[in-house]
Amino acid sequence: MVLSKGYIFVLFLLTSVIGHEEREPTLILISFDGFRWDYLQKVNTTTLAWLAKHGVSAAVVNNFVTRTFPNHYSIVTGRYEENHGIINNVMWDPVYNETFVPSTVDPKWFNASEAVWITNQKQGGGRLSAVINWVGGSVPFHGRSADFSPPYNKSISFKTRIDMVLQQLDRDPPVNFVAVYFHEPDASGHKYGPNSKEVAEAILHLDQITGYLVQELKKRHLFDQVNIILTSDHGMAEVDSNRLVYLDDYISSDKYTLVDSAVNSFIIPHQGEEENIYKNLSQAPHLTVFHKKDIPVYWHYANNRRVTPIFVTSDFGYRIVRNIKDKDFEHGDHGYNNSIKEMHPFFIAHGPAFKQGYQSKPFSIVDIYSLMCHILDITPAPNDGNFAAVSQMMRQSKPSNYVLFIVAIVVATLILVIMISGLISNFRKRSYQFSRIHDQDPYS
């Protein structure tokens, strides 16, 4: 009877280990567009500050150009802009003879690099991805799509976006990766400037939304099981309408095609005009003009056909417009050199994969992809990241199910040996006592 109970206990132990961690490692990736690395020092938040204190925090060095589409795609692919091909929010492709704009969803523009939501699903094991309003999230990649990837819809309220995340975690089977994008505080930063009360209010709203997510995860007993990464694509700089450079003051508009212009200008000279345009623009104050071949290698930017023959950058705080008709009244912008701290975004991570109360050194935005793949326990697609740069923020890895299974077998074997040894010892003791009784002389 005792031995049969022992077998039942051992069987229960092994079954528990085999069934351990049936849910795949789960990660929620959240982007707050234009959330500068030092905003948390300027605004008193509740949930964001708590997550930073009890998790990991850092400033991130993003990619040049420091624009929304390029850096959001770098986060999820781990590739530099010249490699994933999304080199600006607006761009011209000389092979397609077409212009890309933010509403473009043709897969051919995105097919150079694999996003983490595809990497996750390709490796099976019940892994499913959901993408909500992220750059390229609703675009198929070589025929594959995230399991849940509705079209971009800016009108979806922030709370509803969090509810959509929760619905994907609640479903059966649940997703194990969700990416969700919020367009603040970028929108307020452009309109009012990074030091405005409107940006502070936008941050407090995002803090409340994050608090709602944490509260709902706790209700579901998931908060301690789910990993959360909160980050952004770029920072924000103070600008005004008095710091504008007018292209028409230096070059004739009938000599070139202007693909896009803000902090940077993308110029396609008409035939025979490249040298004249370069020479004339080089005379303009607050501008740095490049032939495409001369763009610095360390920007990892020039080696893509979508970068125009003439590329112009402006000094920090300045912007480039064609003429006075294009003058606007924005008070914030980005796109400047990624060595400038005001361009750097924030990073907070919390969950079972991360250390607590750890402030990391700055790392590259392309390293986030390999970090996510490590958390999700998947093999990364080719990328430009370096996991070693972010590995120090990770907790010591939990033992795998295989290791736990081996340990369970050893423990179970020891228990059985002890139980059997106890039974043998008890049997021998009883036999000895029985023999003593029979050996005694009843008449002595």
Please write the tens of the pLDDT for every residue from 81-136: 999 999 999 999 999 999 999 999 999 999 999 999 999 999 989 999 999 999 99
Asked if the structure places residue 413 within a domain, the reply is no
Does the pLDDT value for residue 408 go beyond 50?
yes
Asked if the structure places residue 53 within a domain, the reply is yes
pLDDT digits (tens, 9 = 90+) for 133-181: 999 999 999 999 999 999 999 999 999 999 999 999 999 999 999 999 9
Confidence of residue 261 (pLDDT cuts 50, 70, 90): very high
Burial zone of 106 (CB within 10 Å; 0-12 exposed, 13-18 middle, 19+ buried): exposed
- Across 297-320, average pLDDT: 99
Asked if the structure places residue 441 within a domain, the reply is no
Rounded to 10°, the helix 367-376/68-77 angle is 40
In a shared domain, residues 320 and 194: no
Q: What is the residue range of 115's domain? A: 26-236+337-393
Confidence of residue 329 (pLDDT cuts 50, 70, 90): confident
CATH code where residue 73 lies: 3.40.720.10
Q: Tell me which range, 18-22, 69-73, 396-400, 436-440, is most confidently predicted by mean pLDDT.
A: 69-73
pLDDT digits (tens, 9 = 90+) for 212-224: 999 999 999 999 9
In a shared domain, residues 312 and 381: no
DSSP sequence for 206-230? HHHHHHHHHHHHHHTT-TTTEEEEE
| pTM of this structure | 0.86
Does the pLDDT value for residue 444 go beyond 70?
no
Averaged confidence pLDDT in the chain: 91
Buried b (16+ CB within 10 A) or exposed e, 276-288: ebbebbeebeebe
**144 touches 121 (CB < 8 A):** yes
> pLDDT at position 260, please?
98
**Is the link from the previous residue into 65 a cis peptide, with omega within 30 of 0?**
yes
How many other CB atoms sit within 10 Å of the CB of residue 251? 22
In a shared domain, residues 309 and 354: no
Asked if the structure places residue 62 within a domain, the reply is yes
| Cα–Cα distance for residue pair 238/226, rounded to 1 Å | 37
In a shared domain, residues 314 and 286: yes
In a shared domain, residues 53 and 201: yes
In a shared domain, residues 205 and 308: no
pLDDT digits (tens, 9 = 90+) for 383-394: 999 999 999 999
Does the pLDDT value for residue 9 go beyond 60?
no
Question: Last residue of some domain: 284, 307, 329?
Answer: 329
In a shared domain, residues 264 and 388: no
Asked if the structure places residue 160 within a domain, the reply is yes
In a shared domain, residues 321 and 365: no
Number of H helices, E strands in the chain: 12, 18
> pLDDT at position 122, please?
97
Does the pLDDT value for residue 424 go beyond 80?
no
> pLDDT at position 176, please?
98
In a shared domain, residues 325 and 341: no
Question: Last residue of some domain: 369, 393, 417?
Answer: 393
Q: List, in sequence order, every residue forming a beta bridge with 288; answer none if it has no partner.
A: 313
What percent of the chain lies above the pLDDT cut of 90?
Answer: 82
> pLDDT at position 420, please?
72
Q: Is 66 a catalytic residue?
A: no
Q: Which carries the bigger pLDDT value, residue 418 or residue 283?
A: 283
CATH code where residue 275 lies: 3.30.1360.180
- Please state, in angstroms and as integers, the Cα–Cα distance from residue 231 to each residue in 48, 110, 272, 301, following that order: 11, 22, 44, 22
Confidence of residue 441 (pLDDT cuts 50, 70, 90): very low
**361 touches 388 (CB < 8 A):** no
In a shared domain, residues 150 and 296: no
In a shared domain, residues 343 and 292: no
> pLDDT at position 434, please?
45
Asked if the structure places residue 319 within a domain, the reply is yes
Does the pLDDT value for residue 20 go beyond 50?
no
Question: Last residue of some domain: 307, 329, 351?
Answer: 329
- Across 274-294, average pLDDT: 99
**265 touches 312 (CB < 8 A):** yes
Torsion over CA: 21, 23, 25, 30 (sign): negative
Asked if the structure places residue 120 within a domain, the reply is yes
What percent of the chain lies above the pLDDT cut of 70?
Answer: 85
In a shared domain, residues 198 and 104: yes
Asked if the structure places residue 51 within a domain, the reply is yes
Q: How many domains does the chain have?
A: 2
Looking at 47, 66, 68, 119, which residue is catalytic? 68
| Cα–Cα distance for residue pair 319/249, rounded to 1 Å | 14
